[in-house]
Amino acid sequence: MHRRFFASTFLVLAATLNLGAAPVSAEVKLPNLISDHMVLQAGQPVAIWGRADAGEMVTVRIAGQTHRTAAGADGRWKVMLKPLKSDAAPLNMTVAGKSNRLTVSNILIGEVWLASGQSNMEKPFRNQPGQKDVINADAELAGANMPQIRLFKVKKARSTTPAADVEGQWVITTPETLDTSRFSAVAYVFGKRLHTTLNTPVGLIDSTWGGTRIEPWTAPEGMAAVPTLKRYADVKPGQKVDGSDISGLYNSMISPLAPFGLKGVIWYQGESNLMTAGEFPGGAADYTDKMEALIGGWRKVFGQDLAFYYVQLAPHLYHVVRPAQVASAEGLPQMWEAQTAALRIPNTGMVVTTDLVDDLSDIHPRDKVTVGQRLANLALSKTYGQTGLVINGPKFRDVRIENDKAILSFDDIGGGLVARDAKPLTWFQISGADGVWWPATASISAETVIASNPNVRQPISVRFAWDEAARPNLMNKEGLPALPFHTR
């Protein structure tokens, strides 16, 4: 009897020890972005991905679709959903492996956009330390009962190598969640206009960080593809170039979002690249190329020709408020020129903000509602094919000289050129061969502007809004301001 007892005990202990020594199977896992309340992009194949044991079979079911795949040797797996139609009726998705089954609930199908940049994109409606509240913040928040708009706020992080995931969660938009999440005001207004105009759910991802330059947001693939930026390519993890930790924010706040299905990106950044700060050089010299690298790199890693709409910097007294960082009142116009030049990149658009500043000493203008609406109009027209929208202000096309007058022609005049305040046109300057700039008397004549100054008998160049303080009054009848320019 004792022998049988000890024998059976030995067998139980041996079995227990063997079970303890066997590898513990890992559960199927999803990234934080693929979670309850999310919005999946309509009308295009959409990736669902995660981690499991190497070789483990994973099954994904949603909306009548079933997809199976095996995790790779590194434990990563991915399936591609067939295009889904826009749908405000909540869906569930199940993801099952050999040892667990996950359910993602309350999923909507609609339009998904990523918002990124520095503090003017990051700025929430209110209670941002050191900043004034957005104009009409309380009214905007009070009206934010929008259950078909879903918000995902990416927690700030830096990394020298690509991170596995971001920290954040999808929330349903209410006045409370919009306020407490400190979500981008520009992004919310943008998404609200898309939602109400297209009558479709909208998912918004806010990945922003105030005071940041463009280089840390850029993927290494983007830098490598632009010949003038080779000094930023193939750097070692953590290595700095021109003071910037190359791709540090991309690694932690953008890369883990891929390959989530997006329709496009809205971007508001550039102030930090304009300003010199310690080892960081300031100026617009290669900002256009850096925009090309940023956009191209993100398109490559997301595997999509993402629409990319951005905001031109607002007027601000940089060289007055920050003389050690910006040496000249022409520094900002040079950045405006670089941002305008980035329109050469296909599938992009730009919002001009020279008319949206109430305090030139405030680098964070309070009218974020109009900025969001203008960005949305770009998307509605260029991405969604809405007709009847004027989305651009007058843009300089060419100049001809007749005697002592410069006659300027413009594209995007909409219903016609007008002065916003019905007063004489402001912020035009003219120069002759000596290069001396004089204030120009400028007036609208049909679809042109005629500029002159009696001290310039033979004009050579004209410039418009070529000063950081410029808030000119030339616009089209639809109320969109003319772009600053220099005829050279």
Does the N-terminal peptide bond of residue 259 adopt cis geometry, omega within 30 degrees of 0? yes
Interatomic CA distance for residues 317 and 452, integer angstroms: 27
Q: What is the 3-state secondary structure (H, E, C) of 413-455?
A: CCCCEEECCCCCCCCEEEECCCCCEEECEEEEECCEEEEECCC
Residues of the chain with CATH 3.40.50.1110: 110-383
The answer to whether the beta carbons of residues 189 and 373 sit under 8 Å apart is yes
What per-residue confidence (pLDDT) applies to 237? 87
Tokens 């410029």, located at residue: 470
H or E element in which residue 171 lies: strand 170-173
Q: What is the 3-state secondary structure (H, E, C) of 194-226?
A: HHHHHCCCEEEEEEECCCCCCHHHCCHHHHHCC
**For 39-106, which CATH superfamily applies?**
Immunoglobulins (2.60.40.10)
H or E element in which residue 8 lies: helix 2-21
81: which strand partners? 46
Q: Give the DSSP per-residue string, 118-139.
A: SHHHH--SS--TTSPPPTTHHH
Residue 61 burial (CB < 10 Å; 0-12/13-18/19+)? middle
Whether pLDDT at 1 is above 50: no
What fold, for 110-383? Rossmann fold (3.40.50)
Whether pLDDT at 418 is above 90: yes
Q: What value does the mean pLDDT take over residues 236-250?
A: 92
Considering the entire predicted model, what is its pTM?
A: 0.94
Q: Please compute, for residue 34, the number of CA atoms within 13 A of its CA located in the half-sphere on the CB side.
A: 27
Residues of the chain with CATH 2.60.40.10: 39-106
* Interval 215-239: pLDDT, tens: 999 999 999 999 999 999 989 888 9
Interatomic CA distance for residues 92 and 485, integer angstroms: 52
> From the CB of residue 225, how many other CB atoms can be counted at a distance below 10 Å?
15
* Interval 257-303: pLDDT, tens: 999 999 999 999 999 999 999 999 999 999 999 999 999 999 999 99
* Interval 121-162: pLDDT, tens: 999 999 999 999 999 999 999 999 999 999 999 999 999 999
Side chain identity at residue 171, one-letter code:
V
Q: Give the chain's mean pLDDT.
A: 94
Per-residue pLDDT band for 26 (boundaries 50, 70, 90) equals: confident
Per-residue pLDDT band for 25 (boundaries 50, 70, 90) equals: low
